[in-house]
């Protein structure tokens, strides 16, 4: 019985996060401690992937079966619906749970699991709608004759025109926001085209 009590005490791991160092973590840490978290990991950064949030990644890597990751709010944990689903999937793989102190979220309960199942349905719905809107937009643009696909990012002809006007590669690169290597590539291409068109064999 003593071992069970000890495991229960250690079962909650808190995670506090703010997106910038200007924001204070104290309120989150206090709430997580009051919720029974024996350990509270914290970081102040806005990351879009788990690699950008090393403390959270450590929790997901080392959390044990039966333990619960606790946050104050879901938006302190995930940066998007997809991000949230990824985190929950990792916790499921580990046999661990997720709970929030300020929201009705607890994946160790049937209601909590149902809540996340619903979230998953809405996430898929949102993704499908986005794809559908994108496809409709492309179709409408094609009907109007304004869809040309992805435009090239670098205008090689403009670079060659500037070279032809005697501008230096460094000046052109700075002005057009490209590397000097790109300018030299345009220059070599221009020389190649010139030789190919201008050389005649008698």
**Hey, is 130 helix, strand or coil?**
helix
Among 83, 108, 133, the domain boundary falls at 108
Residue 19 known to be catalytic: yes
One domain for residues 33 and 102: yes
Among 108, 136, 166, the domain boundary falls at 108
Contacts 24+ apart (CB under 8 A), 102-111: 102/31, 102/72, 102/73, 103/73, 103/74, 105/74, 106/68, 108/68
Say if CB 40 and CB 15 are below 8 A apart.
yes
Could you tell me if residue 71 is inside a domain?
A: yes
pLDDT in tens, 89-99: 899 899 999 99
75: pLDDT strictly greater than 80: yes
Q: pLDDT tens for residues 39-52?
A: 999 998 877 778 88
pLDDT of res. 7: 37
What's the CATH number where 95 sits?
3.40.50.1390
Q: Tell me the mean pLDDT in the region 68-86.
A: 87
pLDDT of residue 10: 53
Give domain status of residue 77, yes or no: yes
- Answer whether residue 11 shows pLDDT above 80: yes
In this structure, are strands 97-100 and 105-106 parallel, antiparallel, or unpaired? antiparallel
Whether 49 is covered by a domain: the verdict is yes
What value does the mean pLDDT of the chain take? 79
CA distance 90 to 190: 53
Instruction: Classify residue 132: in a domain, yes or no.
Output: no
Residue 43: its pLDDT value, please?
93
Q: How far apart are CA 17 and CA 44, in angstroms?
A: 6
* Domain limit, last residue, from 73, 108, 143: 108
User: Are 17 and 74 within 8 A, CB to CB?
Assistant: no
Specify if 199 maps to a domain: no
pLDDT per position as a tens digit, 128-182: 777 777 877 777 777 777 656 654 567 788 888 888 888 888 888 888 778 888 8
* Judgement on whether residues 28 and 84 belong to the same structural domain of the protein: yes
113 token code pair: 């699991």
Q: Is residue 28 part of a domain?
A: yes
Question: What CATH number should be reported for the domain holding residue 172?
Answer: 1.10.10
Is residue 142 in a domain?
no
Q: Buried (b) or exposed (e) across 167-194, using 16+ Cβ within 10 A?
A: eebeebbeeeebeeebbeebbeebeeee
Q: Return the residue matching tokens 């990824």.
A: 86
Helices (H) and strands (E) in the chain, counts: 8, 5
Of the listed 19, 46, 179, 192, which one is catalytic? 19
Task: For residues 12 and 103, state if they share a domain.
Answer: yes
Its domain, for residue 66, covers 2-108
Of the pLDDT bands very low, low, confident and very high (cuts 50, 70, 90), residue 5 is very low
HEC assignment per residue over 45-71: CCCCCHHHCHHHHHHHHHCCCCCEEEE
Examine residue 83 and state whether it is found in any structural domain, yes or no: yes
Q: Which residues contact 3 (CB under 8 A, 6 or more apart)?
A: none
């Amino acid at each position: 019985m003593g071992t069970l009590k000890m495991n229960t005490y250690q079962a909650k791991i808190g995670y506090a996060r703010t997106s910038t160092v200007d924001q204070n973590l104290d309120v989150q840490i206090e709430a997580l401690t009051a919720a029974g978290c024996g350990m509270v990991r914290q970081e102040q950064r806005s990351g879009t992937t788990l690699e950008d949030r090393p403390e959270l990644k450590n929790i997901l890597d080392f959390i044990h079966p039966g333990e619960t990751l606790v946050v104050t709010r879901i938006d302190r944990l995930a940066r998007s619906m997809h991000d949230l689903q990824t985190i929950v999937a990792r916790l499921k793989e580990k046999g661990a749970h997720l709970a929030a102190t300020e929201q009705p979220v607890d994946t160790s309960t049937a209601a909590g699991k149902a809540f996340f199942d619903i979230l998953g349905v809405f996430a898929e719905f949102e993704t499908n709608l986005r794809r559908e809107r994108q496809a409709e937009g492309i179709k409408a643009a094609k009907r109007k004759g304004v869809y040309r696909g992805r435009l090239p990012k670098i205008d090689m002809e403009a670079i060659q025109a500037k070279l032809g006007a005697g501008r230096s590669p460094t000046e052109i690169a700075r002005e057009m926001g490209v590397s000097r290597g790109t300018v030299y590539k345009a220059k070599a291409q221009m020389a190649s085209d010139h030789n190919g068109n201008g050389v005649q064999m008698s």
